[in-house]
Amino acid sequence: MFVDKAKIKIKAGNGGDGAISFHREKYVAAGGPDGGDGGNGGNVIFIADDNYSSLIDFRYKRKYSAENGQNGGAKRCTGKSAPDLIIKVPRGTIIRNSETGRIIADVSSDEPKIIAKGGRGGKGNMNFATSTRQIPRFAKPGYPGEELEVTLELKLIADVGLVGFPNVGKSTLISVVSAAKPKIANYHFTTLTPVLGVVKIDAEHSFVMADIPGLIEGASDGIGLGHEFLRHVERCRLIVHVLDVSGIEGRNPIEDFNIINEELQNFSEDLAKCPQIVAANKSDMATDEQISDLKNFIENKGYKFFCISAATTAGTKELMQAVSLELEKLPPVKEYEAEPITREELEKSISDNNKFEIEVIDGIYYIDAPWLDPIMRTISMDDYSSLQYFQQVLRKSGIIDKLEEMGINEGDTVDIFGFEFDYIR
């Protein structure tokens, strides 16, 4: 089963919490704080693997999470950083932010792509000792790893794309010029998935050709199979437009040529500008007049014209040599650049990281802020310096401002995850 689009959720690992610890050793007075830092969370990394040709695995597993970093320990021991989560995808997979459609990465090269970064480890209390604060009873929690929903979209990497109406002979052509073995039969939509084949011209020259399932009128609007597979033509450096010059099925090759080019234009302007070579197939069943009329029309449009018969291989060698020469003049296969993060995404990220809700029930102000939970685990409520640090967090996050805006009075009770305290201005 060929799957070229999938949506998954990825979560990088959280950083480990810093430790609260004090040195204890016989005959050593005032050993001081020695809580170590937490380890870093694992990244989520995508790499290209040529053994994969479809995204079908992502239909069955949709959530991927990297491991969290270990917490820091006593004796200034730093927690172990978590290993990265490696996700293998077919070469040519584009990764988009599902919510905004922004391109995050194009996995076309051998370079690993870090899509979600693991959280940094929190600082242990050994980092907060000063001349005036010699017994810090607090540490910093690990930072959360990035979490997002992404859409994987496979755009096959091929130098040449074969396009044309169903049953014009594209599958036969790729089968005789390469080792590809597509299904061939005398009915429409025989090919239901793109087929790749390597065409070898000589010992030093070869290129990859893709047989794209038959397009029909309205393909760019989702009619037929074309809408599903037009994306696989987008990377092609050259298009070979296959026409049935014989008109044996009652179609007009000139009308077919115009319709397919209009569909390419509607789908993508860049695709419409891609260089084309026209192959007039089934010439062994066409009259000289049919071939002449089509040749004049195509050459007047400025395209190179080749008369072939894929079934008998007549003219196919000359066509492939011309394609090879044309490819030498063209730039390499298109690779998509990662798009910069939008202001909306940035603002949402900041908002999510400091998001909180306050609800008043029976005079008690209940604060719901998930990001506060790891911070509270590293706070000693019996230590003055710890409470000062906690108060700074509440002030910087806007929680105190919100409480005052809601009309809280001195002495009112505030509840955070079951911990209650009286509000003091």
SS (H, E, C) the chain: CCCCEEEEEEECCCCCCCCCCECCECCECCCCECCCCCCCCCCEEEEECCCCCCCHHHHCCCEEECCCCCCCCCCCCCCCCCCCEEEEECCCEEEEECCCCCEEEEECCCCCEEEECCCCCCCCHHHHCCCCCCCCCCCCCCCCCCEEEEEEEECCCCCEEEECCCCCCHHHHHHHHCCCCCCCCCCCCCCCCCEEEEEECCCCCEEEEEECCCCCCCHHHCCCCHHHHHHHHCCCCEEEEEEECCCCCCCCHHHHHHHHHHHHHHHCHHHHCCCEEEEEECHHHCCHHHHHHHHHHHHHCCCEEEECECCCCECHHHHHHHHHHHHHCCCCCCCCCCCCCCHHHHHHHHHHHCCCEEEEECCEEEEECCCHHHHHHCCCCCCHHHHHHHHHHHHHHCHHHHHHHCCCCCCCEEEECCEEEECCC
Whether residue 167 is predicted with pLDDT greater than 50 in this model: the reply is yes
| 219-241 per-position pLDDT tens digit | 444 444 445 666 777 888 999 99
pLDDT at position 220: 44
Topology match between the domains 160-328 and 355-422: no
Tell which wins on pLDDT, 273 or 352.
273
pTM above 0.75, yes or no: no
User: Both ends of the chain: CA-CA distance in Å?
Assistant: 65
Percent of the chain topping pLDDT 70? 88
The CA-CA-CA angle for residues 311, 315, 319, to 5°, reads 115
- Determine the Cα–Cα distance for residues 17 and 76; give it in Å rounded to an integer: 13
pLDDT at position 288: 93
| 264-282 per-position pLDDT tens digit | 888 778 778 889 999 999 9
Whether residue 248 is predicted with pLDDT greater than 60 in this model: the reply is yes
| 19-41 per-position pLDDT tens digit | 999 888 777 666 789 999 999 99
Q: Which range has the worst mean pLDDT, 53-57, 127-131, 346-350, 421-425?
A: 346-350
Report residue 212 as tokens. Answer: 């794209």
| 362-373 per-position pLDDT tens digit | 888 988 887 777
- Region 355-422: CATH code: 3.30.300.350
The model's confidence at residue 178, banded by pLDDT at 50, 70 and 90, is confident
Tell which wins on pLDDT, 298 or 136.
298
Report residue 274 as tokens. Answer: 């891609």
Whether residue 218 is predicted with pLDDT greater than 70 in this model: the reply is no
The model's confidence at residue 215, banded by pLDDT at 50, 70 and 90, is low
Whether residue 182 is predicted with pLDDT greater than 80 in this model: the reply is no
Mean pLDDT, residues 64-76 taken together: 94
Beta-ladder partners of 279: 242, 306
| 288-333 per-position pLDDT tens digit | 999 999 999 999 999 999 999 999 999 999 999 999 999 999 988 8
Q: What is the dihedral of CA 407, 350, 117, 111, to 10 degrees?
A: 170
Q: Regarding the domain with residue range 1-154, which homologous superfamily does it belong to in the CATH classification?
A: GTP1/OBG domain (2.70.210.12)
Domain locations in the chain as residue ranges:
1-154, 160-328, 355-422
pLDDT at position 78: 94
Residue 267's contacts (CB-CB under 8 Å, 6 or more residues apart) are 219, 220, 227, 230
Give domain 160-328's CATH number out of 3.40.50.300, 3.40.50.1000, 3.40.50.2300, 2.160.10.10.
3.40.50.300
The model's confidence at residue 117, banded by pLDDT at 50, 70 and 90, is very high
| 253-264 per-position pLDDT tens digit | 999 999 888 888
pLDDT at position 202: 83
To the nearest whole number, what is the mean pLDDT of the chain? 85
pLDDT at position 371: 75
Can you give the C-alpha Rg of the chain in angstroms?
32
Whether residue 14 is predicted with pLDDT greater than 80 in this model: the reply is yes
- Determine the Cα–Cα distance for residues 18 and 138; give it in Å rounded to an integer: 9
Whether residue 91 is predicted with pLDDT greater than 50 in this model: the reply is yes
The CA-CA-CA angle for residues 377, 381, 386, to 5°, reads 80
pLDDT at position 194: 74
pLDDT at position 184: 47
The model's confidence at residue 193, banded by pLDDT at 50, 70 and 90, is low
Tell which wins on pLDDT, 180 or 186.
180
Sheet holding 419-422, edge to edge: 357-361, 364-368, 413-416, 419-422
